[in-house]
Amino acid sequence: MASKGVTVGLVGFGTIGAGVAKVLINNHDVIAQRLGFPLDLVHVADLDLESDRGIDLGDIRFDSDAPALVTNPDVDIVVELVGGYDFARKLCLDGINAGKHIVTANKALLAVHGNEIFGAASQKGVDVAFEAAVGGGIPVLRALREGLAANEIQSLYGILNGTTNFVLTEMERTGADFEVVLEQAQELGYAEADPTFDVEGVDAAHKLALLTSMAFGSTLDFKSIPTEGISQLTPLDFESAESNGYRIKLLGIAKRHVEADGSETIESRVHPTLIPRSSMLANVDAAMNAVAIRGDAVGPTLYYGAGAGEMPTAGAVVGDLMEIAREVRREQSGRVAPLAFPQETLKPKPLRALGDLVSRFYVRIEALDRPGVLAKITGALGEQGVGIESIHQQGASPGEVSVPVVLWTHEVRESNMRDALKTIDTLAEVTAASNVIRIEEDL
Amino acid sequence: MASKGVTVGLVGFGTIGAGVAKVLINNHDVIAQRLGFPLDLVHVADLDLESDRGIDLGDIRFDSDAPALVTNPDVDIVVELVGGYDFARKLCLDGINAGKHIVTANKALLAVHGNEIFGAASQKGVDVAFEAAVGGGIPVLRALREGLAANEIQSLYGILNGTTNFVLTEMERTGADFEVVLEQAQELGYAEADPTFDVEGVDAAHKLALLTSMAFGSTLDFKSIPTEGISQLTPLDFESAESNGYRIKLLGIAKRHVEADGSETIESRVHPTLIPRSSMLANVDAAMNAVAIRGDAVGPTLYYGAGAGEMPTAGAVVGDLMEIAREVRREQSGRVAPLAFPQETLKPKPLRALGDLVSRFYVRIEALDRPGVLAKITGALGEQGVGIESIHQQGASPGEVSVPVVLWTHEVRESNMRDALKTIDTLAEVTAASNVIRIEEDL
């Protein structure tokens, strides 16, 4: 095996499983560059051997024998994506007993059976990783485990369920009733046919159980978390929230308290919550997720991204695979590279010239308020093919020698823009070098 | 050394250095719990041996001999916090040659001399960690290195400098000129006496150089990054931005392109940028930092928090120390714990009863529009000590049997609130169980 990569077996070849296979196959090279060795998918198991998942497995073993996969001696790491409780639990425990590391996205399984599964893994000395189980592709578990490890965590607020956040965003936007918006969400694929787990807060509570343990070092205790959903909310609630400067979000909340007698208690709860419009969390819309974590050293932090979906979730699963693969191959691969890629693989890459940037621009020109000046400016722009979206000249106050002309352009190459401004800045009426701000829309 | 912890030497005992010492000493126990072994500060070096840093070093060695510290055989990991270029570079290289791992917050040093320093560390097989150099306490480098490792990174937008973000936020809020706001920022301690590095975008470009390499696997190339600052912006720019639905932010931007001939280029630039008000980045105010990263699998993500300051920066330094300490003690400590604390140290912790929650509440009551109903409701609340901030009864339309009464309370224990609602829900005029939404302000 010395020259081969670390090997992966995948149980469950549905939407997320297909995404994981796509990332492992399509991003094989960049993953191998980052790791210093390849990460190879060698075995896939699913009861459905027929459906087209849009990915060619080539000569990778593909069968319906999940129990054989989790003990396959050619597999280093098992990815469990079958979902549910009993069969998934047995696969994980059998894999652990066979010395396999486990990666899973199954929050329900871990919230309910995590104490048993993590205990077995700890005894056997193998890893169980589950970044994809909370916040989809957002590396929030890693932040708690590593980035904020020096902090005593004080509080955590999470928008942990995309379905409910989509419904709340639409109820606020449209003023419609819960049932109407839920039906739309189902039609758009944002809510399942039976939406109970999402709508009543159970999925958020599964995730909050994991986050609470990781924040405070407490045993997993899903069943004790008070949980309320969003089905009782009405349009009036959103109107009243808005007129008072609030928005309504379904939050998972966890806090740590030191009581008067010095003992430690924690809060862990899921319910609709009014939060100030100006807070970062209040601006998390549609199906997006975010977790705000406050540590005693770092203060407030926030992690935002897609909380579900094929590729975000698959990316998180493969991130976990890579971290475990580094452990498996530590002796060969050495340490984590400081710049994320092994030092010897870094290469100079040409920087694109700023003149090649295509963007809309905001331009401010200081010019004397004489007849014909706008014609000269727009003429110079037109010669370079710079389209004008809007132009505004501020009237001069008596005694002022020049006034600002503000214009917003259509998309254009920066070099054309600059050439036009060179001409404009030499006009007799222009009193100072013009000022440009680039516009970015796609963020 | 078998029973002792991993050891740390600290060069530079200024504000950040004192913060690092505070975290290592004050959070010693929670850090030891997370690691499974202690992390011990054993040597501090600084030219100033007199100033009071508000921390008692006890019997930790404290002298002015930085060169001796970086080769001290009792030290496993060196924290470099002297700042600047030449002396810091020599300390880092001498430490690396002596087999020490290095943790630093010095982005200027790494942006300019990183290729040399990382190269030396790679050859010697030691770690150089610098989470604190970008985004202060936000674990954004860890996200790039590990959490998003399975992704091809497509773009990165960062508010990387707190001073300039504070100035921009205040210029927008007050309509004042740049010079006026800068002076206020200096008085408040948000800007230095010589603000050039911040205001002209150099500090942001240092950080962007590191992020660009980590995102795209390119050699560090700070000097090629086009960099513009914010000193030329005027109140009119902010007015015009606002009336068009934009805000102005100083962004570090990095993108990857595949050109028409199949070759790869990258963009890396720092300049004031107009971004849509509705974007998450546009809502990052005052001295806060945030980085938005888009990966091919995960889609858009964002990382937000304090970008500077004693304790946020110190927390990030200690997070790096802990990650390296795990490597140093791997044989003894085993693997990273899945729930962030070693499995055997997890303990059940009592959950605080929801009745003990103290909060403001939003309450919606459905009641018949009869004279005296408000008196009965407010009376029941008053009996339980529930203060009312505002109350609003919607007028009944003809034919309606009941109307909603909406009220917002002052802070009160939830159990008192619930007792009052029990009484209210039994009133003859109340037609449905009342509805409560909790309010969270502090996020």
pLDDT digits (tens, 9 = 90+) for A13-25: 999 999 999 999 9
SS3 label, residue A333: helix
DSSP string, A412-425: EEHHHHHHHHHHHH
Q: Are A99 and A126 in contact (CB under 8 A)?
A: yes
Residue B289: both structure tokens together:
């930092």
Query: Average pLDDT in the B330-342 region?
Result: 58
Q: What is the pLDDT of residues A255-287, one digit of tens each?
A: 988 888 888 888 899 999 989 888 899 999 999
pLDDT range class, residue B394, cuts 50, 70, 90: confident
Q: What is the pLDDT of residues B190-230, one digit of tens each?
A: 999 999 999 999 999 999 999 999 998 888 989 999 999 99
Which of B325, B3, B315 has the alpha carbon at shortest distance from B135? B315
Residue of B nearest to A217 (CA): B346
Please list every residue in chain B whose beta carbon sits closer than 8 Å to the beta carbon of residue A234. 364, 404, 435
Query: Could you report how far apart the first and last alpha carbons of chain B are, in Å?
Result: 44
Q: Which of B147, B266, B344 sits opposite A139 (nearest CB)?
A: B147
Q: Report all structural domains of chain B as residue ranges with CATH numbers, in order of start.
A: 6-137+312-345 (3.40.50.720), 140-306 (3.30.360.10), 354-439 (3.30.70.260)
d(CA B303, CA A338): 19
Residues 6 or more apart in contact with residue B49 via CB below 8 angstroms: B62, B63, B64
Q: Which of B298, B336, B343 sits opposite A145 (nearest CB)?
A: B336
d(CA B104, CA B313): 10
d(CA B304, CA B158): 10
Q: Are B60 and B75 in contact (CB under 8 A)?
A: no
Q: Please report the pLDDT score of residue B402 as a whole number.
A: 85
Give the gap in angstroms from C-alpha B59 to the nearest C-alpha of chain A.
23
d(CA A361, CA B368): 58
Give the gap in angstroms from C-alpha A141 to the nearest C-alpha of chain B.
9
Q: Are A7 and A69 in contact (CB under 8 A)?
A: no
Whether the CA torsion A205, A210, A214, A216 is positive or negative: it is positive
d(CA A109, CA B431): 41
Lowest mean pLDDT among A285-294, A346-355, A373-382, B390-399: B390-399
Residue of A nearest to B35 (CA): A149
> What angle do the packed helices A107-124 and A86-97 form, to 10 degrees?
20
> What angle do the packed helices B15-26 and B28-35 form, to 10 degrees?
70
* Amino acid, res. A347: K
Max CA pair span of chain A: 88
- Please report which helix (H) or strand (E) contains residue A151, including its range: none
Q: Are B225 and B112 in contact (CB under 8 A)?
A: no
Active centre residues of B (catalytic): 207
d(CA B224, CA B6): 40
d(CA A144, CA B10): 25
Q: Please report the pLDDT score of residue A322 as a whole number.
A: 93
Q: Is A352 exposed, middle or buried (0-12, 13-18, 19+ CB in 10 A)?
A: middle
Owner of token pair 């290195």: B145
Residue of A nearest to B350 (CA): A265
> What angle do the packed helices B178-187 and B162-174 form, to 10 degrees?
120
Q: Which of A236, A297, A440 sits opposite B253 (nearest CB)?
A: A440
Owner of token pair 């107009």: B274
Q: Which DSSP state fits B379?
A: H
Q: What is the pLDDT of residues B288-322, one digit of tens each?
A: 999 999 999 999 999 999 988 999 999 999 999 99
| φ and ψ of A23, to 5 deg | -65, -45
ipTM of the complex: 0.86
For residue A144, pLDDT beyond 60:
yes
Strand partners, A424: none
Owner of token pair 């993108």: B255
Q: What is the pLDDT of residues B404-441, one digit of tens each?
A: 999 999 999 999 999 999 999 999 999 999 989 988 87
**Mutation for testing the B interface, residue in A35, A144, A146, A154 having most B CBs under 10 Å:** A146
